[in-house]
A = this chain, B = another copy of it.
Amino acid sequence: MEPNNNNNMQPDSCLEITPMEVHKVVPPPHRSTIQKLKSRLKETFFPDDPLLQFKRQPLGKKWILAAQYVFPILQWGPNYSFKLFKSDIVSGLTIASLAIPQGISYAKLASLPPIVGLYSSFVPPLVYAVLGSSRDLAVGPVSIASLILGSMLRQEVSPINDPLLFLQLAFSSTFFAGLFQASLGLLRLGFIIDFLSKAILIGFMAGAAVIVSLQQLKSLLGITHFTKQMGLVPVLSSAFHNINEWSWQTILMGFCFLVFLLLARHVSMRKPKLFWVSAGAPLVSVILSTILVFAFKAQHHGISVIGKLQEGLNPPSWNMLHFHGSNLGLVIKTGLVTGIISLTEGIAVGRTFAALKNYQVDGNKEMMAIGLMNVIGSATSCYVTTGAFSRSAVNHNAGAKTAVSNVVMSVTVMVTLLFLMPLFQYTPNVVLGAIIVTAVIGLIDLPAACQIWKIDKFDFVVMLCAFFGVIFISVQDGLAIAVAISIFKILLQVTRPKTLILGNIPGTDIFRNLHHYKDATRIPGFLILSIESPINFANTTYLKERILRWINEYETEEDIKKQSSIHFLILDLSAVSAIDTSGVSLFKDLKKAVENKGSVEASAWHLNCLFFFNCLAF
């Protein structure tokens, strides 16, 4: 049976168990293998049919549509008005005030020089404004991708002993991340990110938030000799084995700013209109703490500061990319993992806000936009960037209308890079730590976790695996374990499909699961089973064993046998959407096994795939 023929087994109706003269359905029209393959490929790779809009259009219009497809800016650009710009400039400045301190913080999280975080908030938003189709995405470095990039590269190269090589590897990883993202979009393989289910993401993000927060103990406690490992256990033991290094000035300052930032966050969460409170708080903290340090010369009293930062725009970095050598494997692996993680975040954020404002975001197109943004970024001293969830939410709340808000942010960052860098010299690291902790706390979504517990216990287990895997093993292994369990669950559903015994509900034509419906009754002499999955090589053996056991059980249950011995086995295949070669031989084997049974009374064999109720009579 070929994939498309199986539609024969459509849920067409139970009427066919009443006499068959009622209506005979003609077989479907013949389709050639090529036709089937074509429609199958279209369904697989072009579910959204991106070419639909090109139909029945003159050639000139087609070119314009194609250009608009590749560069969405051509779509909204011509209608851009001053009114929209007013909204965009407010939101752009708001996210810039968030992007500057976060950029510096996240770069430190990735063990990169702080200025790379600002570089990454300058070029990629400009690229995205031209290519991206989301109106709310605020582009820049994000916490989880920074964490993973840093931790994966640190396993092989030390950012302290060999900072230049580390930087080169970071840019190369960014290049491969972008290449991978763009290829996923171009090859329309976007469904790969679907394998990161909601449950996995919730567990993973919460775990990552814990890991990121723990890393901040270094700056929050003012420890100088801190472990390079990421796990819960080594980090905590490192923090408490170095109590002598704790600096009370740092702890005091950190505590104050953390409380301030969390309060600001709390206010904005309660009243979304006051979004600017939490949006402005990081910048205010940075300014305030810098002034404090400068005024009290606190850098000489145990408070570590960022130090001198270079002025000027992004230097080119294409000559720093590694395409060969011993670190190529590491770079590709890091690019793949950070690429997929940042893509997942970017696409999810884009879709969330698109749904809120009722416009469409084409997943494959977004992947190409984010991918190209990272490829270009890797050549201009930027590391992995994507649409950040927290900043996009602020952007949305601040009233962003188009991607111009990204351009405004980018220009603000440019001004900072050109003229304001010396001001950050006295910014204490402890404040950056507090900013990161406040940002990642939002990644822990307890209500969603409760919801998952209520709906599906297995998904909850997957979520816990992701969470504990990230905390106790490593970020990428935790993720891999959770994905493996999820795929295993899908495979298990297929290898061990449910078979149900159905009974008639008296007075109706309805057949229901006997074990769930107390008023459903067996029809004497009939065994009615429902199979609930495609029948294929992975489950034929199981199905055969299970069906034979149903027959054995029927024969051993005394009270049923009293009524009548088994005469008919009816298989309801309405939930079977496909049958492969092995599946076909299941029916042959089953026929043989059933014919060999002692209780066989008649050995006629009717298997008619045209019917929803398929009869194996014996």
CA distance A22 to B505 in the complex (A): 12
Contacts of A178 in B (CB 8 A): none
Residue of B nearest to A453 (CB): B581
Q: Is the CB of B593 within 8 A of A541?
A: no
Of the listed stretches A59-67, A109-117, A331-339, A506-514, chain B binds A506-514
Q: Residue A242 at the B interface, CB < 8 A?
A: no
Q: Residue A26 at the B interface, CB < 8 A?
A: yes
Q: Residue A477 at the B interface, CB < 8 A?
A: no
- Known: A28-B517, A194-B541, A519-B26. Is A530-B11 also a contact (CB below 8 A)? yes
> How often does this chain occur in the complex, in copies?
2
Contacts of A86 in B (CB 8 A): none
| CB-contacts of A38-69 with B (<8 A) | 43-44, 47-49, 52
**Contacting A459 at CB < 8 Å: which of B12, B14, B545, B580?**
B580
Contacts of A552 in B (CB 8 A): 52
CA distance A3 to B534 in the complex (A): 17
Q: Is the CB of A582 within 8 A of B3?
A: no
- Smallest CB–CB gap between A31 and chain B, Å? 9
Q: Residue A294 at the B interface, CB < 8 A?
A: no
Q: Residue A7 at the B interface, CB < 8 A?
A: yes
Q: Residue A494 at the B interface, CB < 8 A?
A: yes
Q: Residue A370 at the B interface, CB < 8 A?
A: no
Q: Is the CB of A451 within 8 A of B495?
A: no
Contacts of A48 in B (CB 8 A): 545-546, 548-549
| Chain A 351-390 interface 0/1 with B at a Cβ cutoff of 8 Å (1 = within) | 0000100100001000000000000000000000000000
Q: Residue A199 at the B interface, CB < 8 A?
A: yes
| Chain A 539-559 interface 0/1 with B at a Cβ cutoff of 8 Å (1 = within) | 111100110110011001000
Q: Residue A612 at the B interface, CB < 8 A?
A: yes
Contacts of A593 in B (CB 8 A): 355
Q: Is the CB of A495 within 8 A of B194?
A: yes
**Contacting A10 at CB < 8 Å: which of B500, B580, B589?**
B500
**Contacting A191 at CB < 8 Å: which of B10, B457, B496, B500?**
B496
Q: Is the CB of A580 within 8 A of B197?
A: yes
CA distance A512 to B24 in the complex (A): 12
Q: Is the CB of B533 within 8 A of A195?
A: no
**Contacting A23 at CB < 8 Å: which of B52, B195, B505, B546?**
B505
Of the listed stretches A305-313, A409-417, A570-578, chain B binds A570-578
CA distance A533 to B532 in the complex (A): 9
